[in-house]
């Protein structure tokens, strides 16, 4: 097997997404325009976005022969994500997430069920494949698994990109020390450091790790810590914001592409921002992800040409 550009280890989820009608009448039925089933999970969507751009990506999960597993596998394959590193176990299934989108604000409310979830076991972590990959992407849903994957990458050339949302603070602080690229929502950064402003959060995060630290904050954009100072990347203007699901996941995917390509930090942040600005235009975290050939036509910020010029023409 050729080395993967990216391996993702994290929550395997199937999303059922509905954009609520402007008026909901409880106890009645509504015919709605947007109701769909698609693969989800932070690094599930992140790896799908990277694969759609033409890179080789694999998702590690424990799946069985049941409807949810089949949907999840199908959703990965459609995006070009390899399922070769998945472990088959009849009793296992993905998480199911019900996602409700508020039509007025594009904000979403998520309900997750983990019955029968296929938690990865120590032997499921593909140590050799991780060590030969360019980037490992992990989230914070199962911290034992995340720690095993991060330890597998230690001492290899594989960059490890962390996408944490929250959890046990002491444990997360330990795991931050194991990553090379720690890209967190500002809120999670606040939890880990007790600081408030992006600048103070980054300064404190940088003391926990030798890796690169970045925080994201929705429409306020993102900040990276470089040479002892916070560098701001504004969010891109979006004409119509429909659903913010997956913005963070897409940001991580763009950042990961930059790691694969060896881009400097500002360009990694900019490409993440560009992908996130697309995702918000449609319902569902994976619906508006671009392929390589979609990129030149995308409305984007000032450096779009710079980014496209740096992507290999042969991808996607
Ligand atoms: N409402 C928005 N308008 C414009 N850009 C946005 C918006 N929300 C997110 N983004 C873009 O996506 C990036 C990441 O978003 P955010 O900080 O919300 O991540 P997150 O909390 O991890 O989200 P997710 O729940 O999708 O994982 C931001 O830095 C910004 O570039
Ligand atoms: Mg996120």
Confidence category of residue 151, pLDDT binned at 50, 70, 90: very high
Give a yes or no: residue 311 inside a domain. Answer: no
**Residues in Cβ contact with 223 at an 8 Å cutoff, skipping those fewer than 6 apart:** 198, 199, 202, 214, 215, 217, 230, 231, 232, 233
CATH code assigned at 60: 3.40.1190.20
d(Cα 235, Cα 221) in Å, to the nearest integer? Answer: 4
Percent over 70 (pLDDT), the chain: 96
Answer whether 68's CB lies under 8 Å from 18's CB: no
Q: How far is the CA of 27 from the centre of ligand 1 (A)?
A: 33
Query: Residue 244: CB within 6 Å of ligand 1?
Result: yes
- Of 297, 290, 294, 293, the C-alpha closest to 276 is 290
Q: Other CB atoms closer than 10 Å to residue 264's CB: what's the count?
A: 9
Interval between CA 296 and ligand 1 midpoint (Å): 22
CA 150/CA 144 separation, integer angstroms: 10
- Domain holding 121, by residue range, is 6-23+33-301
Dihedral sign computed on CA atoms, order 1, 163, 169, 155: positive
DSSP state for residue 129 in the 8-state scheme: H
Name the strand (E) or helix (H) holding 254.
helix 247-261
CA of residue 263 to ligand 1 center, whole Å: 21
Cβ(213) – ligand 1 distance below 6 Å: no
Global pTM value: 0.95
How far is residue 46's CA from residue 59's CA, in Å, rounded to a whole number? 10
E strand or H helix at 231: strand 229-233
**Residue 100 included in any domain:** yes
For residue 316, pLDDT over 70 is answered with no
Question: How far apart, in whole angstroms, are the C-alpha atoms of residue 164 and residue 150?
Answer: 13
Give domain status of residue 312, yes or no.
no
Determine which residue's CA is closest to atom 1 belonging to ligand 1.
Answer: 219
192 in a structural domain: yes
Q: What is the pLDDT of residues 101-147, one digit of tens each?
A: 998 887 889 999 999 999 999 999 999 999 999 999 999 999 999 99
The three-class DSSP label of residue 10 is: coil
- The reply to whether ligand 1 has any atom less than 6 angstroms from the CB of 226 is no
Does some domain include residue 310? no
Based on the structure, what is the number of domains in the chain? 1
pLDDT surpasses 80 at 304: no
Domain-located, residue 178: yes
Sign of CA dihedral 66, 70, 73, 75: negative
Question: Which range (34-38, 74-78, 162-166, 236-240) has the least confidence?
Answer: 236-240
**Cβ-based burial of 193 (10 A; exposed 0-12, middle 13-18, buried ≥19):** buried
DSSP structural state of residue 299: -
Per-residue confidence (pLDDT) for residue 129, from 0 to 100: 98
Q: Are 248 and 42 in contact (CB under 8 A)?
A: yes
DSSP string, 152-189: HHTTSS-EEEEE---S-HHHHHHHHTT-SEEEEEHHHH
Q: Which ligand is nearest to the CA of 40?
A: 1
Which DSSP helix (H) or strand (E) runs through 225? strand 222-226
CA–CA gap between residue 221 and residue 223 (Å, rounded): 7
pLDDT tens for 251-272 read 999 999 999 999 999 999 999 9
What's the CA gap between 216 and 225, in Å, rounded?
12
Phi, psi of 200 (to 5 degrees): -70, -40
DSSP state of 194: S
- Domain membership of residue 307 (yes or no) is no
Is the CB of 161 within 6 Å of ligand 1? no
* Sign of the torsion formed by the C-alpha atoms of 109, 214, 186 and 280: negative
Q: How far apart are CA 219 and CA 295, in angstroms?
A: 22
**Rg, the chain, Cα only:** 19
Q: Whose CA is nearest to atom 23 of ligand 1?
A: 248
Ligand nearest to the CA of 108: 1
* More confident: 13 or 307: 13
276 is a domain residue: yes
- Average pLDDT value for residue range 198-226: 98
């Amino acid at each position: 097997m050729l080395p993967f550009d990216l391996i993702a280890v994290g929550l395997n989820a199937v999303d059922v997404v509905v954009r609520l009608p402007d008026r909901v009448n409880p106890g009645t039925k509504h015919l709605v325009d947007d109701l769909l089933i698609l693969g989800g999970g932070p690094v599930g969507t992140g790896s799908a976005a990277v694969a759609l751009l033409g890179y080789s990506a694999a998702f590690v999960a424990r799946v069985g022969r049941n409807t949810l597993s089949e949907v999840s596998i199908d959703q990965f394959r459609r995006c070009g994500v390899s399922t070769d590193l998945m472990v088959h176990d009849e009793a296992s299934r993905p998480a199911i997430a019900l996602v409700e989108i508020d039509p007025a604000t594009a904000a979403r409310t998520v309900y997750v069920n983990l019955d029968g979830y296929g938690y990865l076991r120590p032997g499921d972590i593909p140590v050799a494949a991780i060590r030969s990959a360019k980037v490992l992407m992990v989230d914070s849903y199962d911290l034992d698994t995340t720690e095993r994957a991060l330890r597998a990458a230690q001492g290899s050339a594989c960059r490890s990109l962390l996408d944490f949302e929250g959890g046990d603070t002491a444990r997360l602080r330990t795991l931050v020390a194991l990553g090379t690229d720690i890209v967190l929502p500002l809120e999670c950064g606040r939890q880990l450091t007790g600081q408030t402003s992006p600048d103070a959060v980054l300064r404190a995060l940088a003391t926990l790790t030798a890796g690169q630290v970045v925080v994201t904050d929705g429409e306020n954009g993102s900040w990276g810590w470089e040479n002892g100072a916070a560098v701001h990347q504004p969010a891109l203007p979006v004409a119509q914001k429909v659903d913010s699901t997956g913005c963070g996941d897409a940001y991580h995917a763009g950042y990961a592409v930059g790691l694969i390509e060896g881009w400097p930090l500002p360009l990694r942040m900019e490409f993440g921002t560009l992908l996130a600005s697309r995702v918000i235009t449609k319902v569902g975290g994976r619906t508006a992800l671009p392929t390589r050939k979609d990129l030149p036509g995308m409305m984007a910020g000032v450096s779009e040409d710079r980014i496209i010029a740096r992507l290999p023409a042969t991808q996607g």
